[in-house]
Amino acid sequence: MKTFLIEKYGTKGAGTGVRAAERPAPQMGADDVLVKIHAASVNPLDLRLRDGAFKTFLPYELPLVLGNDLAGEVVGVGSAVTRFTVGDEVFARPDKDRIGAFAELIAVHQDDLAPKPATLTMAEAASLPLVALTAWQVLVERARVQPGQKVLVHAGAGGLGSIAVQLAKALGAHVAATASGAKADLVEELGADVVVDHRTQDFVTVLDHDYDVVLDSLGGDNLARSLQVLKPGGLAVSVAGPPDPAFARELGLNPVLRVVMSALSFTIRRRAKRLGVRYTFHFMRASGVQLRELTPLIDDGRIRPVVDRVFPFDETPQALEYVEKGRAKAGKVVITME
């Protein structure tokens, strides 16, 4: 089958870091579902994996086929599969150890797979799994957002932000989001009550300092300053900030790496403690159950995908370059096999 893969870490640019290659069809286990991929989407995670950002604690075997979410059709099932049959339309974020959506076929554990929302095209469905699961795990699992609480979502027009704004609103929260002025109308349309233009306004001075939750996807100074808008006991969750000891425990890392994780996040955790707030890092996990929980919100229109551009499969390197250079105006970039 045709794939797009990397052979070593740290190479950038279209045609240099990612190349087309023929690979054997996936081997299936008893609980696996073989999916013919119709569409996949590009995430910043693909670029970070390509550059080796996580190689210390995610030791992939190279060459590595990239691609972290997909939509497609079931073409085979393992002997223990009970939830899917050949011909089903599905979508998924494969487990972190089994990525590889930039390919014609993929084997996905049945626990990580869900029926495709009936109202979506394959391209739209492929744009959702990773960002929708991240938003769900942050806002529902970790933060346990309740009606009337206040949530700040950074980069509200981005792939993650556009879904997090909608989910926070569906949970009954008052939602603020940062975005450029040109994207303010879109972010308001998605459900934000307040939009702060990050180019001309300082969210720390514009917003009240009584927010319950901040979802940060930018890291660095943006994360550090986000702590200031939280009320006492509030929670800042970052998908771009430094990993913390809890994340190291979740991965079952050895004691040395746990110390490293603790050191990386020491400054931000100390700052949060001094302000009487909390900080945690989140690295999303695959879950077919949670995709099923999200589907009613998708099919009734409370969460809708935002797709910036669709590339043909043969232009996968160009799609990665498009995302890397920040050309996407809003939402996700999708690769389609059709």
Structurally, the chain folds into a number of domains equal to 2
Q: Same domain, yes or no, for 120 and 141?
A: no
Q: Same domain, yes or no, for 71 and 61?
A: yes
Domain hosting 23: range is 2-128+305-336
The confidence score (pLDDT) of residue 296 equals 98
Q: Same domain, yes or no, for 196 and 222?
A: yes
| 255 in any annotated domain | yes
What letters, b where the CB count within 10 A reaches 16 and e where it falls short, cover 104-127?
bbbbbbbebbbbbbeebbbbbbbb
Q: Same domain, yes or no, for 89 and 196?
A: no
Q: Same domain, yes or no, for 56 and 166?
A: no
| 287 in any annotated domain | no
Structure pTM?
A: 0.96
What tokens appear for 47 in the block? 């670029």
| 177 in any annotated domain | yes
| 33 in any annotated domain | yes
Whether omega before 63 lies within 30 degrees of 0, making that bond cis, reads yes
Rounded Cα gap, residues 74 and 34, in angstroms: 6
Q: What is the CATH number of the domain that holds 332?
A: 3.90.180.10
Q: Same domain, yes or no, for 109 and 145?
A: no
| 112 in any annotated domain | yes
Domain termination site, one of 266, 281, 296: 281
Q: Same domain, yes or no, for 9 and 140?
A: no
| 286 in any annotated domain | no
Q: Same domain, yes or no, for 259 and 134?
A: yes
| Alpha-carbon torsion angle 216, 333, 286, 111, nearest 10 | 150
Give the pLDDT of the chain (338 residues) as one tens digit per residue.
Answer: 999 999 999 865 544 589 999 999 999 999 999 999 999 999 999 999 999 988 887 889 999 999 999 999 999 999 999 999 999 999 999 999 999 999 999 999 999 999 999 999 999 999 999 999 999 999 999 999 999 999 999 999 999 999 999 999 999 999 999 999 999 999 999 999 999 999 999 999 999 999 999 999 999 999 999 999 999 999 999 999 999 888 888 878 888 888 888 898 999 999 999 999 999 999 999 999 999 999 999 999 999 999 999 999 999 999 999 999 999 999 999 999 97
Rounded Cα gap, residues 129 and 134, in angstroms: 8
The confidence score (pLDDT) of residue 16 equals 58
| 58 in any annotated domain | yes
Q: Is residue 222 within a helix (H) or strand (E), and if so which, with residue range?
A: helix 220-226
Closest C-alpha to 238, from 277, 179, 280, 209: 280
Q: Please name the residue that has the structure tokens 């425990």.
A: 249
Q: Is residue 316 within a helix (H) or strand (E), and if so which, with residue range?
A: helix 316-324
Q: Same domain, yes or no, for 270 and 134?
A: yes
The confidence score (pLDDT) of residue 305 equals 98
**Per residue in 218-239, pLDDT tens?**
999 999 999 999 999 999 999 9
Closest C-alpha to 33, from 115, 96, 136, 117: 115
Q: What is the CATH number of the domain that holds 187?
A: 3.40.50.720
Rounded to the nearest angstrom, the gap between the alpha carbon of residue 68 and the centroid of all alpha carbons in its chain is: 9
The confidence score (pLDDT) of residue 12 equals 58
- Angle 180-331-9 from CA coordinates, rounded to 5°: 105
**Per residue in 85-138, pLDDT tens?**
999 999 999 999 999 999 999 999 999 999 999 999 999 999 999 999 999 999
Report whether 154 contacts 177 (CB < 8 A). Answer: yes
| 295 in any annotated domain | no
The confidence score (pLDDT) of residue 253 equals 80
Q: Same domain, yes or no, for 160 and 205?
A: yes
Q: Same domain, yes or no, for 169 and 155?
A: yes
The confidence score (pLDDT) of residue 260 equals 84
What tokens appear for 39 in the block? 């569409």
Q: Same domain, yes or no, for 171 and 309?
A: no
